[in-house]
Structure 1
Amino acid sequence: MTKNEKVPKLNKDLYEAELEELQAQLVEMQEWVKQSGSRVIIIFEGRDAAGKGGAIKRITEPLNPRVARIVALPAPTERQRTQWYFQRYVEHLPAAGEIRLFDRSWYNRAGVERVMGYCTPEEYRRFLQQCPVFERLLVDDGIIVLKYWFSVSDKEQLKRFKSRLTDPMRRWKLSTTDLESITKWEDYSRAKDDMFIQTDISEAPWYVVESEDKRKARLNVMHHILSSVPWERVELPELKIPKRPKSTGYRRIDRSLQKEVPDFAATITSERMPARYVDKEDEVLNGESPE
């Protein structure tokens, strides 16, 4: 395959079949984490519009939200800005039998905060010095730490941004900071390179996920998680549905005394069926990403 030749997109039917299989294995992994009392941290970082959110969504879709929880923190408060930088992340670390998926993490300081000037040079220097120590402490305490960087080309990122501008379901994903990343592409590249040099440690290495094709990226990261966590199938307790006991005379209250949700579904007809939403970033149209 030549350098300029496009890599074919993954077939949708093949993708969905493999996705279902990997999700089933993630459910089994979750049971092992729960029963073994393991603690797992999965960090998702990368370019804006690189597909982190879509990957997290497919990973957590079949999982118990009490076991596998997404951590997506807003901008720090004024009080949090005066704390030790890692302090607000510590409270979201997993306890025994829990998985935490960080949709962006403490690495904000090495990326957007550095490039956009939201932290001082001294704060940035201190972060690079402390981060490897912090992560080694986590691993030394028995926590499994996986770090993924989603990589996407500038051309593909721009296509996805343009798609979101006209997609009402994804418009919320765009912010002024996201759009500024277009003009600061090389700044973010340098920041990522420096971050890797300082924080790609043997105890918690970085893994790059190529995400020009989102379907491939999702399957690849899910498969890697399953191969990186030392899980095994666990025997689940046998459950038996009991027989319902005989009635003791209970009578349901009259429906007229309750407020019910109107039956909107009964008004839907084929004549007024709304157009099906198509995720332009996921659907392959003529083999091209959306312009």
Structure 2
Amino acid sequence: MSGRPGPKSADEVRLMRRAGLVVAQALEAVVAQVHPGVTTRELDAVAAAVIAGAGASPSFLGYGADEDRPGFPGVLCLSVGEEVVHGIPGERELRDGDLLSVDCGAIVDGWHGDAAVSVVVGADEPPADVVGLVETTRTALWHGIAALRPGGRIGDVAVAVEQAVRAAGSYGIVDDYVGHGIGTAMHEDPDVPNRLPSGPLARLRGRGGRVVPGTVLAVEPMLTLGAPETHELDDGWTAVTDDGSLACHFEHTVAVTPGGLWVLTAADGGEAALGALGAPYAPL
């Protein structure tokens, strides 16, 4: 991790909102083009055009480059079916009924935004279990976000996500990939888990670092229809479920402000979803 972990100033949060809005626009444009027969490379090109047109740059393209590999080869992570995260755009054509995760990051003036959505491709009536997976993951995301507040703990997110998931049914909560701090680097401290370790003491609410105004986090639950274990494919990026079960991923970048929450990658700042949960919407 690099960048400057820790609270951001009001001006820095406003810069991150600009990046967040670019991400929101790119995701909206990509989802509008999702249909059977489109390739993941074509969807990647849609996001690239939106990001470039906004005068921003992609967070993911070239990410992780070192002397052993050139870095991630796409603007988006596009993960299909049993792919959990970090799917590489290519010539794969989407099919009717596929479950697709679209993960996007953008940089404006050195500051990152990061968000993801999952959609079912084309199908007029997706299977009930797939619909349940998507809705549960989305709901868990917003419950996790709504648990953030000045004076709280990072572990409150994990508690809220897991409670929302368990109330909805039996889903796998992926442990291998978690949320994170974000700022001038896409990944900063702290990690933001989606469930707490098992055991009566480990699961106590209040686990983890303190949340203060200026805390900016990417909250991102990933659920499966089966077991939560994953492994990485030989491409060095794509993570898939061990048991081949479908996976789903939602994410937003959220700032904790003195008065509440500002979801930087939501077009409305999170006002509607936060209001529905009774959480304070407090843009700067």
Q: Same fold (TM over 0.5)?
A: no
Pairwise TM-score range, normalised by the shorter structure = under 0.3
TM-score (norm: length of structure 1)? 0.25
Flag the structure with higher helix content: 1
Which has the bigger relative contact order, CA under 8 A and spacing at least 6? 1
Higher CA-based Rg: 1
